[in-house]
Amino acid sequence: MAKTPKSASTAKPAGVGKSSVSATKKNIRRVQGRPPKNVTPEYPDTNTMLDLYEQMLLIRRFEEKAGQLYGMGVIGGFCHLYIGQEAIVVGMQSVSKEGDSVITSYRDHGHMLACGMTADGVMAELTGRRDGYSRGKGGSMHMFSREKNFFGGHGIVAAQVPIGLGLAFSHQYRNTGGVSLTYFGDGAINQGQVYESFNMAALWKLPVVFVIENNQYGMGTSVSRAAAGRDLADRGKAYGIPGMQVDGMNVLAVREAGAEAMAYCREGKGPFILEMQTYRYRGHSMSDPAKYRTREEVDAMRKQRDPIDSLREILVHDGVENDKIKALDTKVKAIVSKASDFALASPEPDEAELWTDVILEGGVS
């Protein structure tokens, strides 16, 4: 059985005071037990942090606009927002390589943007328009981009996990050097297909990082009431899969842990599990009033642990002028406003689209 790293990020992320900024810089990911050996922690430069800030802010503003359009009836069906969890996918994708594949659950808008899919195309799909990534037929939960190696968006809990395993097998079989980044939530962790995937990934040493986005609630049920044990990162121990618990509200911690996990996979050692401790500010979906938690709980998380505010404080502490940060805010708002206008101006799909993308004609080349 492979050794399981004891490295963890169970400590709460730094707040937004100056003293906590320096503490965060000295210790990007607090480690319990032995320090990781295969990746040297590296504090990113200012330009990299500005890019991380911009990407997280884009997801935040995009999701806020999506929530607004849903309330206006422009977006229909289910709509699950990623507000609060931005640091996870932004941090992970920032240390991924070209050719890596990504697959996730129905809380997927942020993943699409972090993979480089355009805000215009994603918003058009959310509104069911012809110019969307699935030509208006997939909506919030089912859009894809082969160009960006993004394989969905899946509406069935945990259904993406064995597909992510298949993507890892493809990387191994074709010898691409790529890694499958397979995201799923704490609400999916007890599904049987997850453990079948763990078993096969370990047996065949497949290059897959299982990213558990533990936002503390599976729909309206607290993880403490649904999952025996506290460390979901340890769920692969029976298969010899190393796991790490990470501060998912700290984009720098996510980057460091993600780099270590991906390096492990690329070395041919097999799968790795990352449990991202995070929090969603909105309900499970737009139809969820979230009465299972108090407003005070949510407000405390926003004030003390917000990933965007924390990174902004680090940037200011490092000497980045407020005007530069405000310019990014203005840029992001313009992108989101343009995406909304683009989506609303796009026509609805033609009825003939009902018959497309159903059967593959001519076979596979």
Look at residue 263 and tell me if it is in a domain.
Answer: yes
For 26, other C-beta atoms within 10 Å of its C-beta total: 9
Instruction: Kindly give the interhelix angle for 46-71 and 322-345, rounded to the nearest 10 degrees.
Output: 40
Mean pLDDT computed over 160-178: 98
**Confidence (pTM):** 0.86
Using pLDDT thresholds of 50, 70 and 90, give the confidence band for residue 33. Answer: very low
What residues make up the domain containing 123? 18-336
Are the beta carbons of 190 and 246 closer than 8 angstroms? Answer: no
Stretch 233-260: mean pLDDT, rounded?
Answer: 96
Torsion on CA atoms 189, 193, 198, 204, rounded to nearest 10:
-160
Q: Do the beta carbons of residue 144 and residue 122 sit within 8 Å? A: no
| CATH code of the domain in which 34 resides | 3.40.50.970
Quote the DSSP letter at residue 150: B
SS3 182: strand
**In terms of pLDDT, which residue wins out, 135 or 23?**
135
Joined together, the tokens standing for residue 86 give: 């931005």
Give mean pLDDT, residues 276-304: 81
Question: Residue 291 — very low, low, confident or very high, per pLDDT cuts 50/70/90?
Answer: confident
pLDDT class for 279, splitting at 50, 70, 90? confident
Helix-helix angle 119-126:322-345, to 10 degrees:
40
Query: How many separate domains does the chain show?
Result: 1
**Which pLDDT value is given to residue 87?**
96
pLDDT of residue 315 exceeding 90, the answer is yes
Q: What is the pLDDT of residues 323-338, one digit of tens each?
A: 999 999 999 999 999 9
pLDDT at 335: 98
Is 314 inside a domain boundary? yes
The pLDDT of residue 364 is 64
pLDDT at 215: 84
Give the range among 93-97, 125-129, 137-141, 312-316 with minimum mean pLDDT. 137-141
**294 half-sphere exposure, CB direction, 13 A CA radius:** 3
Examine residue 347 and state whether it is found in any structural domain, yes or no. Answer: no
More confident residue, 314 or 229: 314
Binning pLDDT at 50, 70 and 90, where does residue 288 land? Answer: low
Residue 343 lies in a domain: no
Domain assignment present for 127: yes
Token pair 């690329």: residue: 266
- Is 7 part of a structural domain of the chain? no
* Domain annotation covers residue 9: no
If residue 288 lies in a helix (H) or strand (E), which one and from where to where?
none
Question: Residue 283's pLDDT is what?
Answer: 65
- What mean pLDDT do residues 8-35 have? 40
The amino acid at residue 233 is A
Q: Which residues of 265-287 are buried (b: 16+ CB within 10 A; e: fewer)?
A: beeeebbbbbbbbbbbbbbbbbe
| Confidence grade of residue 194 (pLDDT, cut at 50, 70, 90) | very high
DSSP letter (8 states) at residue 320:
-
Q: What is the mean pLDDT of the chain?
A: 86
In the three-class reduction of DSSP (H, G, I as helix; E, B as strand; rest coil), residue 115 is classed as coil
One-letter amino acid of 113: L
Structure confidence at residue 212 (pLDDT): 96
22 assigned to some structural domain: yes
